[in-house]
Amino acid sequence: MIVSRFFEPAIAQTSYLIGCAATGEAIVIDPNRDIARYREAAARERVRITHVTETHIHADFLSGARELARVTGAALLLSDEGDDDWKYAFGGEGRLLHDGDRITIGNIHVDVVHTPGHTPEHLSFLITDGAAADLPIAAATGDFIFVGDVGRPDLLERAANMHGTMEQSARTLWRSLRAFDHHEEWLQIWPGHGAGSACGKGISAVPYSTLGYERRFNWAFAVKTEDEFVAKVLEGQPEPPIYFAMMKTLNKRGPDMRRTTPPPRLDPARLAAMAQGAVVIDTRPAAAFAAAHVPGTLSIPFDGSFVTWAGWLVPYTEDVYLIAAQDSDTQVAELVRQLALIGLDRVAGVFPPEAVPAKAAPGEPVGTIPQMDAEALARHLLAGDVSLIDVRAGAEWRDGHIAAATHVPLGYLRARVTELPSGPLVVQCRSGSRSAIAASLLRQLGRQDVANLRGGIEVWSAAGLPITDPER
């Protein structure tokens, strides 16, 4: 049996190619839109992709299953479990799967298990190497069981706006875990996400596990009652990015084929005018943006959180223009690839980094974001001449915050900008990175007197300045 694991760090997502060396057939489970990597792996392993499937209708990335099946001619296999709200609109393009079905890939048996809770239609796949064994060696569990955690059951309510489903989904997840618990301790767990995914609240960075290990060390297997599980699984879940609802819709409807034409390089002289009406994302480091930027542009640095904040803050209904952090075809291609993972396909053009003036010149206004240190902020708060906005997540806020702060998580800042106090603002997060994005967004929304707390609440705390006790 051939197994290739693919981890996409931009979205902390995992997919798998499982092949039979004897017959040269292979199945891909939970592919994302970067389908070239699966085709390259298949060629490298000298197998052909004959089947493509996924564990559920994903919320955190745009599925590549439909496109990969079309390009390779593979059979598309989709869940037909769950209620009518969670049926694939394009299910007629492939084979519909139900609990107890078996998929045969040469000598490999893939048994379908309905494991609802994260979503109603969720499936897990038991993998048996029929050439060597008559019991499964592993389970591809998608968003059902992670290493150290389980899939969150609140997304239908909090991301897809299906009110009143959160507690019932948690109870369904509890029953799915109990039903799955009879398998052998040595059964390997191949999860669909790793640390950094918003599909759980405590997912380990360890790539895979065993059911026996999870029984001993995963909190979800340690709780003794259904009510205790429901309370714990719903407690402290991170805010689901607003683009999750869009992903659910697109993945249910059927993602379009990805556009492969690279965006055009644009004349730097056009940037200042374009930034006054179009969506222009400056991907340079936050410090570079703070030192000099074109007014009207939004700072989302090209780092490990780029896709997350693009999904939160960039509209799906408009063309998007990018300012590259480096003037290289490789980086531009990577920017476009990562945005495509969440369906942001409307990249209409790219400016080189030198399109941003190093300093103000006649007819070329340059914006800056002042950086305030902790001691200066303390003095200003005492004098009452600034308002502090904490843009961290809710769980971070509850763990302790600066008493004078107003809490508005970064992802909700655009929608709640009218709630902010008038007058000068200072924005703050844990270390200063999210607040740098927040400062640029506030500038874009018309709040000009905005500064960023350099180093965030970490530097404030290190300076011995007070933080409220964690909320109980």
The pLDDT tens digits for 243-259 are: 999 999 999 999 988 88
242 shares its domain with 218: yes
Q: Indicate whether 199 belongs to any domain.
A: yes
Q: Calculate the average pLDDT of the chain.
A: 95
Least confident of 196-210, 240-254, 353-367, 422-436: 353-367
Mean of the pLDDT values across residues 68-82? Answer: 97
State the Cα–Cα distance between residues 172 and 116, nearest whole angstrom.
6
State the Cα–Cα distance between residues 153 and 59, nearest whole angstrom.
12
- Secondary structure of residue 143 in the 3-state scheme: coil
The pLDDT tens digits for 356-407 are: 988 766 667 899 999 999 999 999 999 999 999 999 999 999 999 999 999 9
Q: Indicate whether 365 belongs to any domain.
A: no
Amino acid letter for position 74: A
SS (H, E, C) 387-432: EEEECCCHHHHHCCCCCCCEECCHHHCCCCHHHCCCCCEEEECCCC
306 shares its domain with 348: yes
pLDDT of residue 266: 96
Q: Where are the beta strands (DSSP E) in 273-332?
A: 279-282, 298-299, 320-323
State the Cα–Cα distance between residues 335 and 17, nearest whole angstrom.
25
The residue out of 302, 323, 355 marking a domain boundary is 355
Band (234; pLDDT cuts 50, 70, 90): very high
244 shares its domain with 289: no
Helix (H) or strand (E) holding 341: helix 329-341
Q: What is the DSSP letter of 325?
A: S
State the Cα–Cα distance between residues 338 and 2, nearest whole angstrom.
27
45 shares its domain with 68: yes
Q: Indicate whether 263 belongs to any domain.
A: no
Split into its structural domains, the chain has a count of 3
Band (164; pLDDT cuts 50, 70, 90): confident
Residue at token pair 């607040």: 435
210 shares its domain with 171: yes
Owning domain of residue 288: 268-355
148 shares its domain with 191: yes
Question: CA-based angle 428:430:433, to the nearest 5?
Answer: 75
Please give the order of strands across the beta sheet that includes 75-79: 2-8, 13-20, 25-29, 48-53, 75-79, 95-97
Say if pTM beats, i.e. exceeds, 0.85: yes
The residue out of 225, 253, 281 marking a domain boundary is 253
105 shares its domain with 170: yes
| Under 8 Å between Cβ of 253 and 86 | no
Q: Indicate whether 259 belongs to any domain.
A: no
